[in-house]
Amino acid sequence: MGDQMAILSLTLRLHDQGHSGVAVSALVVAGVLPLVVVGPLAAPLVDRVESGRLVVVVAVLQALVSAGLVFVTGLAGTLVLLVLLGAGLALASPALLLLVPRIVGADGTARGYARLDSFRSAGNVAGPALAGVLIAVSDVRVVLLANTATFVAMAVVLACLGIRREPVAGAGGSWPAQVREGVRVLGGDRLLRTAILALASAIVFTAVLSVARVFFIRDDLGVSGTGYGFLVSAHTVGMLASSTLIAPRVPLEWQPRVLVGAGVLMGTSLAVGAAVPVFALALVSFVLTGVANSLQGLAIRNLIHARVPEQVRGRAFATSGATLNGANLVGTALGGPATALLGGAGALELAGAGTLLVTLAGSPVLLRHRAGADAPEQRSRAPEQEAGPVQE
């Protein structure tokens, strides 16, 4: 919730200062790029340090950085602070995923991931709305202070709960070797490799939505600002409904099939909704894209949890997150030219068709495997035993 509040308030601040759309784009990139670059490089720390302590320390540091945004109003300083916040998120996100089994128990991990996704979706809905209210009655600085308070609250809650996940023996070797292990453990598993590559390829197309949506809604549908708000919110509502009502009930062994089904649902919803520009159909379409989005993300997390040994799981989460966030950046960058060339509806049709094609391309492997079955035999061994000596 706090992140959404910060992005909205900083976007408004830049707009009011007279900055161009390029500055706003830089704002988004500054927050996401560390997840792509810093995440995998710093990921060995996630497997080396007790997870609860790491999240608490990172949250405290993020609170200090967020407080700096209250006083730093220049574009360059704002971007630097956002990069630091993103770097913290690159460490905190995989560490939080490692804590979930400790909170809910091993048998409830899939439900725990779904519950975490529900909280995030609820925050994505509430954050912009709360930021708008606070800005209306005060100013941007109050919103940024509220964002700072969310980091403090997370640190205090986790410290009081005392949830711990000690590092597992076997995370030794040089730092570069440990970074490579995060890539190797995913690339060495055919199911994980196919799942992540298929989803990343789909995201390149799906991310066009973030750019083309406003042109589709305003130009092709011709709806008002209120209608635009409903349609944008529909995607998040779909994510919340899926993570609350559907995802917790999906058995672990179904996750590869869920990934295929969610990709087909995403592609079909985008293509059909854009081909028939009717408000009611578009509303349903955007709800379904949210449902599919949630199922895709949760399927990848569950597959990694099921198939990656615990001693390297933090690096696997960070590496997969970097891959998927990188795909999102590429797709968002391509969304502008695609929309300029094809229009809003045409760009969404392209996004839907591309998502369908890459999903179907990966489906033979995904449909042939179950989440917990057919893992490579060496998974029972420590990473350094699997890969040979790691000292350089």
306 and 286 share a domain? Answer: yes
Instruction: For residues 243 and 150, state if they share a domain.
Output: no
From 134, 167, 200, the end of a domain falls on: 167
Judge if 71 and 209 occupy the same domain.
no
Is there a domain that residue 151 lies in?
yes
Question: Where is the domain boundary, 125, 148, 167?
Answer: 167
Q: Look at residues 117, 135, 167 and tell me which one is the last residue of a structural domain.
A: 167
133 and 256 inside one domain: no
Please indicate whether residue 375 or residue 80 has the higher confidence score (pLDDT): 80
Kindly report the number of other CB atoms within 10 A of residue 376's CB atom: 15
Region of residue 215 (phi > 0: left; psi between -120 and 50: alpha; otherwise: beta)? alpha
Give yes or no: residues 163 and 200 share one domain.
Answer: no
From the list 210, 188, 205, 208, the residue with the least C-alpha distance to 361 is 205
390 within domain boundaries: no
Same domain, 144 and 247: no
Same domain? For 341 and 269 the reply is yes
Quick one: 5 and 96 in the same domain?
yes
Closest CA to 291 of 263, 271, 272, 317: 263
Same domain, 113 and 246: no
Residues 245-270 have pLDDT tens digits of: 999 888 888 999 999 999 999 999 99
- In this structure, the dihedral spanned by the alpha carbons of residues 106, 109, 110 and 116, taken in order and rounded to 10 degrees, is 170
pTM for the predicted model, two decimal places: 0.85
Can you give the pLDDT at residue 253? 87
Give the CATH number, domain containing residue 251.
1.20.1250.20
Q: Which tens digits make up the pLDDT trace of 344-389?
A: 999 999 999 999 999 999 999 999 876 665 665 444 444 333 333 3
Same-domain pairing of 91 and 47: yes
Flag whether 388 is in a domain: no
Domain residues for 149?
Answer: 1-167
pLDDT score, position 244: 92
Residues 324 and 361 in one domain: yes
pLDDT of residue 381: 43
Per the domain annotation, does 387 fall within a domain? no
Residues 154 and 184 occupy one common structural domain? no
Task: Tell me how many domains the chain contains.
Answer: 2
